[in-house]
Amino acid sequence: MRVIAELPHPECKITIFSMNQKYIVKFEQGTFEQSYKIAELDLSGGGVNEIFELLDEAFIATVVTRFKEMRSDFTATYKRHQF
């Protein structure tokens, strides 16, 4: 797996990888991460530039919201078990 791009964003780290005819887009925020796999065949041949187009602000906003939900879910389970 090799890193082909990193996109700056104030709320999360965005890294795009290439591996086995797939692009993997990984979002990281603290200890949480989300990843999305996109087959090269699902794109029209524009390569990583098409990935950049997919990562619009509306999509990134949903990713950030999901991070908040993940943190809330984890905090709730942690409190239930009171470690």
pLDDT band at 83 (very low <50, low <70, confident <90, very high): low
Provide the pLDDT for residue 47: 83
Residue 37's pLDDT band (cuts 50, 70, 90): very high
Q: Look up the pTM and report it.
A: 0.90
pLDDT of residue 79: 93
Domain map (residue ranges) of the chain: 2-81
Spatial separation of the C-alpha atoms in residues 40 and 57, rounded to whole Å: 22
Model pLDDT, residue 13 = 97
Q: In the chain, what is the greatest distance between 2 CA atoms, to the nearest angstrom?
A: 50
Model confidence pLDDT, tens digit, residues 55-77: 999 999 999 999 999 999 999 99
